[in-house]
Structure 1
Amino acid sequence: MFDVGLKYYSRVVGIVSLAALLALSACGNREARGDYPAANENNCLPDVSLIDQHGSTVSLASLKGKPVLIDFIYTSCASTCPMLTAKMAAIAQKLGPALGADIRIVSISLDPEHDSPAELAKYAQSHGASETGWIFLTGPPAKIDQVLALFKLRRTRESDGSITHSIEAFLIGPDGHQIRQYNALDVSPDAVVADVDRARG
């Protein structure tokens, strides 16, 4: 009787230990919060020319060769955009001198009808986003919509003039294709910087 009970106890302990081991293994393989594999095979840096915050023409294709971190904002946004830009600013700070030298951040306007280069420059300055290597882009609405379509995104203008849009950001590899995508409000700057370091090789 004692021997039967001991065998049963040993079996239960073994099952519990195996379950705990599997749980730890699963935790070790989980994605970081808000950090996901890319689900888009499009070339996201096509030969489309936009205008930066300094009034210069920038072809997205010219950004190939280095990783690019892209998000979408607009200057009159009073809700999520300042939070998105604050998250990017935290990432920029952690990247340090690598920003500009080894990676660029690109913020594309969702309101090109109103976001002139001067407005983007003012937004960048007021949100601590004036670092070298961080580009704000606007351009003809049709071109902005073309770029959004490549990212499988769209913008919707509401009756009050605000724009409903995604809060995703994207890490683009040197070849112009997505490596990672993020819920930009949830992801930690450390997780993004780790992805960037891997993309830099």
Structure 2
Amino acid sequence: MNTGPIPTEYTSIRKFTRRALLRGLASATMVAMSSRLYAQHAGMGVVSPPVRLDDAWLIDQTGRKHRLNDLLGQHVTALQTIYTGCSSVCPLQGALFSAVQERMPDIHARHPIQLLSIGIDPLSDSPSALHEWLMRFQAGPGWNAATPALGDVDRIRTALSGSSLPLGDIASHSTQIYCFDANAMLRWRSADLPRADEICDVLNALGRV
């Protein structure tokens, strides 16, 4: 057995791992606090009665303008809110949708399935930034991104949350997934950062409605 001094590089790795763990615990604590204080971490589960969001114009990753409910209509949609400058939870959200995208061919539905990433920082979430963000996660044709006008961002976030609590800033935005049926009705809200299989199960169920 080696009883000599612990190599310096091993000690550094241990310190780094401990710092990473402490940062993770701190982040988890802040999210837990936010869930009690802010609307974007509000109720989860089946939305009853279903909700239609007020319409708004959005610009997608190609620079084209769409009405929100036109984007949602005729598709079963899993929607997430992101911003392209986010380096904390948004990469996790991108990885989550990437995992869902891999499973989409196994979903047999009456309506097309799509993924929609909504940018909530219109000053930075330009079409080119949205395009680069999608390419980072190898998004296919069934996964699009779009950004509303600045004046519509909080209105959309509030409607998604289903709560009257204050929103907080975009840095603490929700990592919930919102699922819509083919009539553009919000039918389900996930917990924060749900499993890909859970999202697929909901899309599969809504696709048969």
TM-score, structure 2 as length reference: 0.68
Do structure 1's residue 121 and structure 2's residue 131 form an aligned pair?
yes
* Rounded Cα–Cα distance in structure 2 between residues aligned with 1:55 and 1:106: 15
Q: Secondary structure at the match of 2:87?
A: coil
Do structure 1's residue 109 and structure 2's residue 122 form an aligned pair?
no
* Rounded Cα–Cα distance in structure 2 between residues aligned with 1:111 and 1:143: 11
* Rounded Cα–Cα distance in structure 2 between residues aligned with 1:105 and 1:72: 11
Among candidates 162, 169, 189, match of residue 156 of structure 1? 169
Q: Which amino acid aligns with 2:151?
A: A
% identical equivalent positions: 22
Q: Secondary structure at the match of 1:68?
A: strand
Residues 42-82 of structure 1 show CA distances to partners (whole Å, capped at 9, x for unaligned) of 313x4311000010111112121221110000111111000
Q: How many residues align?
A: 158
Do structure 1's residue 199 and structure 2's residue 206 form an aligned pair?
yes
* Rounded Cα–Cα distance in structure 1 between residues aligned with 2:141 and 2:119: 18
2:144 maps to 135
TM-score, structure 1 as length reference: 0.71
Q: Which stretches of structure 1, 4 residues or longer, exceed 4 Å deviation after superposition?
A: none
* Rounded Cα–Cα distance in structure 2 between residues aligned with 1:110 and 1:179: 21
2:178 maps to 170
Do structure 1's residue 190 and structure 2's residue 197 form an aligned pair?
yes
* Rounded Cα–Cα distance in structure 2 between residues aligned with 1:143 and 1:40: 23
> How do 1:48-87 residues align onto structure 2 when only pairs under 5 Å count?
48-62=56-70, 63-87=72-96
* Rounded Cα–Cα distance in structure 2 between residues aligned with 1:83 and 1:139: 22
Q: Which amino acid aligns with 2:181?
A: G
Q: Secondary structure at the match of 1:168?
A: coil
* Rounded Cα–Cα distance in structure 2 between residues aligned with 1:83 and 1:105: 15
Shift of 1:41: 4.0
Higher Cα radius of gyration: 1
Q: Which amino acid aligns with 1:51?
A: I
